[in-house]
């Protein structure tokens, strides 16, 4: 008991070897663990595959496993379920959402769409199955530009739900996209002022940024790309110092791949840990173990909705 008379939290790792148990359950269930780069490092270390949103959905589409354990946020696990209706898809914490998905409610998006007849809808994968079902094509940050460039130039396009990625794509493709005004609460928080101060302190550092950042941050970037794009840049670069303007969880893979290089997380506006995604960090190694042991929480979907959401995802996979 602690001084307040409450039970102290038990140290689970002192009772069982979590990693060993997770590996055992993986074999028992014939499961695959897919993890996003923003997951905490202990989760990344037990995963079978670590990737960005596109790579994770490609893996989910081709896995021979019976059970997919998705260490990521809800829309990612839901995409895996849309692609694999007969497989069980588990997620360590069902409440691991995303501000972009939550900021685009289907009833409001339906009305928004009605204002722009004749437009096709390209939606960023960071959205709910309902929004996917209202879309023509899904994209991720690594294939959005390629997909937009395949659309005939006279075809008007709505892009949802991330306005920063949308603005970046307008600049890159020269297309006049109609944007839904959603934001990522993590990438929106980077401070331009502190980033510029860091550049002065580290004049040789390259700034690498995710396109979900605001334009005032992106203007200082030497490279803009998806999480896997940023990681590949670091691996191939002859530079030794990098300022990373995306969720800091990705630095784990950078340090593993390039132990001699230095990675500085871009600072958020306040004195907070706002460069960590609060949704991604709801998943913990303990919850990962428990979801495999209990085979819950599980992602379930209405079959009609699944089929409507599947079409635009398949189009993305074909066009990538």
Q: Which residues bind ligand SF4 (CB under 6 A)?
A: 73, 98-100, 126, 184-186, 212, 247, 277, 279-280
Residue 208 interaction partner, one of ligand 13P, ligand SF4, none, beta carbon < 5-8 Å per kind: none
The interface partner of residue 99, options being ligand 13P, ligand SF4, none and the CB cut-off 5 to 8 Å by kind, is: ligand SF4
Which of 21/102 has CB closer to ligand 13P?
102
Which one, 36 or 113, has the nearer CB to ligand SF4?
36
100 vs 157 by CB, closer to ligand 13P? 100
What's the min distance (Å) between Cβ of 232 and ligand 13P?
12
Contact 141, 53 (CB under 8 A): yes
Residue 52 contacts which entry, ligand 13P, ligand SF4, none (Cβ below 5-8 A, type-dependent): ligand 13P
Least distance CB 42 / ligand 13P (angstroms): 19
Closer to ligand 13P at the Cβ: 210 or 306?
A: 210
Q: Which is nearer to ligand 13P, 124 or 289 (CB)?
A: 124
Instruction: Please say which residue, 231 or 292, places its beta carbon nearer to ligand 13P.
Output: 231
Site residues for ligand 13P per CB under 6 A: 52-53, 126, 140-141, 184, 210, 212, 226-227
Residue 214 binding target from ligand 13P, ligand SF4, none, CB below 5 to 8 Å by type:
none
Closest of 132, 133, 211, 137 to residue 170, by C-alpha: 211
279 binds, among ligand SF4, ligand 13P, none (CB under 5 to 8 A by kind): ligand SF4
Q: What single string gives the DSSP state of each residue in the chain?
A: --TTSPPPPP-HHHHS-HHHHHHHHHHHHTEEEEEETTS-HHHHHH-SEEE-HHHHHHHHHH---SEEEEES-HHHHHHHHHH-TTSEEE-S-TT---HHHHTS-HHHHHHHHHTSTT-EEEEESSS-HHHHHT-SEEE-TTTHHHHHTTS-TTS-EEEESBHHHHHHHHHHH----EE--B--TTGGGB-HHHHHHHHHH-TTPEEEE-TTS-HHHHTT-SEE--HHHHHHHHHH-S--EEEEES-GGGHHHHHHH-TTSEEEEPPBSSSS-TTS-TTGGG--HHHHHHHHHHT-SB----HHHHHHHHHHHHHHHHH-
Given ligand SF4, ligand 13P, none, residue 227, with its beta carbon under 5 to 8 Å by kind, binds: ligand 13P
Compute the least distance from the CB of residue 303 to ligand 13P, in Å. Answer: 27
Q: How far is the CB of 36 from ligand SF4 (least distance, A)?
A: 8
Q: Which is nearer to ligand 13P, 58 or 156 (CB)?
A: 58
């Amino acid at each position: 008991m602690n001084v307040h008379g409450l039970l102290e939290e038990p140290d689970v790792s002192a009772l069982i070897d979590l990693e060993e148990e997770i590996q055992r359950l993986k074999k028992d269930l014939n499961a695959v663990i897919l993890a996003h780069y923003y997951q905490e490092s202990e989760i990344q270390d037990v995963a079978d595959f670590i990737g960005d949103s596109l790579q994770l959905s490609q893996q989910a589409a081709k896995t021979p496993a019976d059970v997919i354990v998705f260490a990521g946020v809800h829309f990612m696990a839901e995409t895996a379920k849309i692609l694999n209706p007969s497989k069980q898809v588990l997620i360590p914490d069902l409440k691991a959402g995303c501000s972009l998905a939550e900021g685009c409610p289907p009833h409001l998006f339906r009305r928004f769409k009605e204002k722009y007849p004749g437009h096709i809808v390209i939606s960023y994968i960071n959205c709910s199955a309902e929004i996917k079902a209202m879309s023509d094509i899904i994209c991720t940050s690594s294939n959005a530009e390629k997909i937009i460039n395949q659309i005939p130039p006279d075809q008007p396009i709505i892009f949802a739900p991330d306005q920063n990625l949308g603005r970046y794509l307008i600049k890159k493709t020269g297309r006049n996209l109609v944007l839904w005004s959603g934001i990522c609460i993590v990438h929106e928080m980077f401070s331009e002022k502190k980033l510029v101060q860091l550049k002065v302190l580290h004049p040789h550092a390259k700034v690498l940024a995710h396109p979900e950042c605001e334009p005032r941050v992106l203007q200082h970037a030497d490279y803009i790309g998806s999480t896997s794009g940023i990681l590949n840049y670091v691996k191939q670069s002859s530079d030794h110092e990098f300022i990373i303007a995306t969720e800091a969880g990705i630095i784990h893979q950078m340090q593993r791949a390039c132990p001699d290089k230095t990675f500085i997380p871009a600072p958020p506006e306040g004195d907070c840990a706002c460069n960590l995604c609060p949704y991604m960090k709801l998943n913990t190694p303990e919850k990962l173990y428990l979801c495999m042991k209990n085979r819950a929480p599980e992602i379930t979907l209405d079959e009609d909705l699944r089929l409507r959401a599947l079409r635009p995802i398949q189009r993305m996979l074909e066009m990538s």
